[in-house]
């Protein structure tokens, strides 16, 4: 089934500079802050052990502020002595980010703040300076690729039917914070307009690959990529170019308008928070890769197994008989068939 209600786990990678994070076992809802921290500027190395005249192993004992604490310019980081005191002080307002093994300190100014929010309702199963993982139950749809930061919001439909396209003039600021279901295709113009209007994320059957490269840069690939920058969030469900959504994907999406949802970009998953009794489960659709690989389309018709067929490329392969000609079996697959190969 494309839509599955199950217990899922989502890892949220944290940028450098986490100052606080949720505790393991804590219950969270999608959208809750899991971790917060600061973006650091250029760190300044402050002489520590040598300056205050203690052994490296003793620096921690004489420190006046813990690593990770915010400091003000001139604030004492570590100090020894009484009458003839020797101290290491913060050269700038910022944060004591690191204690080096040679006893020196790294102090960095704070140039921005960040927060990472949960994409699942559930409980925290891992929390450290690198990752906060949340486990919880939700309806989930596994997409092909996700781009941009995670997003949380209500689902809103912005298409006329399973073959409809997300057109820019249907997007306005009233959709701010929503997760927009953009139908079969969402072009770069619609994605950037949605982002400008504050839309949380765009979910589409297919996205033009060139549009993605225009929005996210020429190094964009067909794989999910996280980004902490101010860029749109896009979840591509089926492939690239154009397609139409099969009934098994479209009907549940159409019925989900107004429900809370979240996009977990790193794993290209759409979580929807609705009771398990909702009738979103459908038979799993199959897809066929176009003969020139330019599009992916759902298989709505019956395809009979054929014998080994010689194709115009002269490849001989097992084929399925479709109304418009034979299709290699390898070019037809279920929605959730693995997309990765072992390298």
Partner 1 sequence: MRGTLAGGADLVTTLVTNDPRRFVERAAVLRAARPDLVVACASERGDADGLVDLAEALRFGCAAQQPCPELMIQADDRVRARIADAAGLATTSALPDIRTDAGRDALVARIRALRRPSRDAVLRDEAVEAQAGEIARERGSVLVLDLDEARASLCHVSASGVLTSVHARLGIGATADVLLARVGVDGIRRWIPRPVDAPVLVERVFNRALWPGAVPATVAALTLEIALAREAIASALALADRAGIQAATYRAPGTVLLLGKLAELPRASAAVLVAIEGLELDGVTTVLREQGGVIDPVAIVAVTWPRRSATVRVSDDTGAHEERISRGSFLLMPTSGAVKLSASGADLRAEAASLSLGVVVDARGRPLAIPPRDAERLPTIARWHAALDALPPEPA
Taking residue 217's Cβ as centre, other Cβ atoms within 10 Å add up to: 11
> What is the SS3 string spanning 84-144?
CCEEEECCCCEEEEEECCCCCEEEECEEEEEEEECCCCEEEEEECCCEEEEEEEEEEEECC
* 341: contact with partner 1 by CB under 8 A: yes
Distance CA 267, CA 146 (A): 7
Judged by CB under 8 A, which of 19, 75, 306, 331 binds partner 1? 331
Angle between helices 188-196 and 209-216 (to 10 degrees): 40
Please identify, using beta-carbon distances, which residue of 155 and 327 lies nearer to partner 1.
327
Longest dimension (CA), the chain: 94
Q: What is the DSSP string of 200-259?
A: SEEEEEEE-HHHHHHHH-TT--SS-B---SS---EEEEEEES-----HHHHHHHHHTTT-
* 313: contact with partner 1 by CB under 8 A: yes
* 41: contact with partner 1 by CB under 8 A: yes
* 125: contact with partner 1 by CB under 8 A: no
Name which of residues 253 to 282 contact partner 1 (CB under 8 A): none
CA 272-7-246 angle, to 5 degrees, is 45
* 241: contact with partner 1 by CB under 8 A: yes
The torsion defined by the Cα of 188, 288, 293 and 247, in degrees rounded to 10, comes to -10
Task: Tell me the number of residues near partner 1 by CB under 8 A.
Answer: 62
- The alpha-carbon radius of gyration of the chain (Å, integer) is 26
Please identify, using beta-carbon distances, which residue of 196 and 337 lies nearer to partner 1.
337
* 343: contact with partner 1 by CB under 8 A: yes
Taking residue 166's Cβ as centre, other Cβ atoms within 10 Å add up to: 26
Distance CA 42, CA 107 (A): 9
* 106: contact with partner 1 by CB under 8 A: yes
DSSP 8-state class, residue 91: S
Helix (H) or strand (E) holding 49: helix 49-52
**Sign for the pseudo-dihedral over CA of 265, 267, 268, 271:** negative
Please identify, using beta-carbon distances, which residue of 29 and 213 lies nearer to partner 1.
213
* In the complex, minimum distance from the CB of residue 209 to partner 1, in angstroms, rounded to a whole number: 4
At residue 14, the 3 state secondary structure works out as: coil
* In the complex, minimum distance from the CB of residue 308 to partner 1, in angstroms, rounded to a whole number: 11
Please identify, using beta-carbon distances, which residue of 30 and 237 lies nearer to partner 1.
237
Distance CA 324, CA 137 (A): 42
Name which of residues 48 to 77 contact partner 1 (CB under 8 A): none
Judged by CB under 8 A, which of 231, 289, 299, 303 binds partner 1? 289
* 108: contact with partner 1 by CB under 8 A: yes
* In the complex, minimum distance from the CB of residue 172 to partner 1, in angstroms, rounded to a whole number: 27
- Which range of residues in 1-9, 85-93, 165-173, 221-229 is near partner 1 by CB under 8 A? 221-229
* 231: contact with partner 1 by CB under 8 A: no
Judged by CB under 8 A, which of 10, 34, 35, 40 binds partner 1? 40
* 24: contact with partner 1 by CB under 8 A: no
Judged by CB under 8 A, which of 1, 4, 15, 79 binds partner 1? 15
Judged by CB under 8 A, which of 57, 230, 292, 324 binds partner 1? 292
* 315: contact with partner 1 by CB under 8 A: yes
* In the complex, minimum distance from the CB of residue 208 to partner 1, in angstroms, rounded to a whole number: 6
Taking residue 50's Cβ as centre, other Cβ atoms within 10 Å add up to: 12
* 114: contact with partner 1 by CB under 8 A: no
**What is the binding site for partner 1 (CB under 8 A)?**
15-17, 40-43, 45, 97-98, 100-102, 106, 108, 126, 128-131, 144-145, 208-210, 213, 218-223, 239-241, 289-296, 311-317, 326-328, 330-331, 333, 338-343
């Amino acid at each position: 089934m494309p839509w599955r209600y199950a217990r899922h786990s989502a890892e949220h990678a944290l940028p450098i500079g986490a100052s606080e994070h949720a505790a393991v076992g804590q219950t969270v809802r999608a959208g809750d802050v899991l971790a917060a921290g600061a973006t650091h500027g250029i760190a300044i190395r402050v002489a520590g052990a040598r300056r205050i005249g203690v052994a490296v192993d003793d620096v921690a004992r004489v420190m006046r502020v813990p690593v990770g604490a915010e400091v003000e310019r001139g604030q004492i980081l570590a100090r020894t002595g009484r009458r003839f005191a020797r101290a290491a002080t913060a050269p700038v307002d910022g944060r004591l980010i690191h204690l080096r093994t040679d006893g020196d300190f790294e102090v960095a100014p704070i140039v921005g703040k960040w927060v990472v929010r949960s994409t699942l309702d559930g409980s925290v199963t891992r929390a450290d300076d690198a990752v906060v993982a949340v486990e919880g139950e939700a309806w989930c749809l596994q997409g092909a690729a996700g781009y941009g930061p995670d997003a949380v919001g209500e689902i809103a439909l912005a298409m006329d039917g399973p073959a409809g396209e997300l057109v820019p003039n249907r997007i306005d600021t009233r959709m701010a914070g929503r997760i927009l279901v953009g139908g079969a295709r969402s072009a770069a113009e619609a994605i950037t307009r949605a982002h400008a209007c504050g839309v949380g994320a765009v979910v589409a059957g297919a996205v033009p690959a060139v549009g993605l490269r225009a929005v996210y840069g020429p190094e964009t690939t067909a794989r999910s990529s996280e980004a902490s920058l101010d860029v749109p969030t896009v979840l591509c469900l089926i492939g690239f170019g154009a397609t139409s959504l099969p009934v098994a994907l479209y009907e549940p999406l159409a019925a989900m308008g107004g429900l809370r949802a979240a996009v977990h970009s790193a794993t290209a998953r759409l979580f929807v928070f609705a009771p398990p009794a909702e009738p979103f489960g459908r038979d799993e659709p199959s897809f066929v890769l176009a003969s020139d690989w330019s599009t992916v389309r759902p298989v709505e018709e019956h395809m009979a197994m054929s014998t080994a067929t010689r194709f115009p490329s002269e490849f001989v392969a097992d084929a399925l008989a479709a109304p418009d000609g034979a299709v290699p079996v390898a070019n037809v697959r279920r929605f959730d068939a693995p997309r990765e190969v072992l390298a």
